[in-house]
Amino acid sequence: MNRAGIQVHRYEAARDNTGAVPVKGGKSLMDHRLEAGATLRAAMIVTIDGPAGSGKSTAARKVAARLEIAYLDTGAMYRAIAHAAESRGTDFEDGDALAAIARSIKLELDCGPTFTRVRVDGHDISEAIRTMSVSAKTPFVAREPAIRALLVARQRVMGRELGSCITDGRDQGSVVFPDADVKFVLEASLQTRAHRRHREMIADGEDVSVEEVLENLQTRDNVDAKQWEPLLASGQAVVIDTSKMAIGEVIAHMVSVISTVVDGRSA
């Protein structure tokens, strides 16, 4: 259990005495170009922000797997609180009640490179937090300043404890990790995002229409968009419109950007 009140199960690959992750042939798994020979000799935090359905989580998982570092799914933390509140029959218009739940639950994250398992009070709710019902209630949690302050503090501690990680959310590069090594904002049209999310939910057995998903995304956009706007205004983030890109293209572009940073460190 860390000082912020959340237990972090770390993903750790074998490392040499420099902190790099060795692989066959003596290269590091943090050699992002794989052939260039560059190695990362220090922790790296990469943030991915943007609207729901833009491909953040998929990109984060795949880049983390490519680099063999932890994936921190911060959205799962807000969803976990929403699920806990829903299970208790909490009034989602009662911000104080929601904040009380956020402070009282035992929230555990198992941050692997391709997944984030979530447990609340000892129960695995990794799948339960992905329902349309929880998605509809999560904005009520996310808009509460007391909850945001609590989770931002927890996420910063987790980032320090994990060392290197890929983290995705709405305010990762702007608020949680303003000094992150690399910052991305992923975007996509509302229609594209609605169809993507609808396919995911149907595959998970959810009985939901595209129209319902689209309405939910619009509601969330109204709450979320301002959180990554500072990154766009300041030019701090690399912006990728994924509307017409295959996931492989997105990953290749992101890895190329990260590789440039690594090469700059090695120069």
pLDDT in tens, 139-170: 899 999 999 999 999 999 999 999 899 999 88
pLDDT in tens, 73-114: 999 999 999 999 999 999 999 999 999 999 999 999 998 887
Domains of the chain, start order: 6-258 (3.40.50.300)
Q: What is the pLDDT of residue 198?
A: 92
Query: Chain centroid to CA 77: how far?
Result: 10
User: Which residue, 131, 117, 134, is CA-closest to 79?
Assistant: 134
Q: What is the pLDDT of residue 23?
A: 30
Q: What is the pTM of this model?
A: 0.80
Question: What are the CA-CA distances from residue 219 to residues 140, 165, 188, 214 (Å)?
Answer: 10, 29, 16, 9
Question: What are the CA-CA distances from residue 80 to residues 99, 160, 196 (Å)?
Answer: 13, 22, 22
Burial of 40 (0-12, 13-18, 19+ CB in 10 A): buried
Of all helices (H) and strands (E), which one includes residue 7? strand 6-10
Q: What share of the chain is helix, strand, coil (3-state, %, to 5)?
A: 50, 15, 35
CB atoms within 10 A of CB 43: 15
Buried b (16+ CB within 10 A) or exposed e, 73-104: bbbbbbbbbbbbbbeeebebeebeebbebbee
pLDDT tens, N- to C-terminus, the chain (267 residues): 544 455 544 333 333 333 333 333 333 334 433 333 333 446 899 999 998 889 999 999 999 999 889 999 999 999 999 999 999 999 999 999 999 999 999 999 998 887 789 999 999 999 999 998 998 899 899 999 999 999 999 999 999 999 899 999 889 998 999 999 999 999 999 999 999 999 988 988 888 899 999 998 988 887 777 778 778 777 788 999 999 999 999 999 999 999 888 877 765
Give CA–CA dist 30/124, Å, rounded: 31
Q: What is the pLDDT of residue 21?
A: 33
CB 130 within 8 A of CB 213: no
Q: What is the CA radius of gyration of the chain?
A: 18
Q: What is the pLDDT of residue 42?
A: 62
Q: What is the pLDDT of residue 115?
A: 78
User: Which residue, 72, 253, 264, 251, is CA-closest to 164?
Assistant: 72
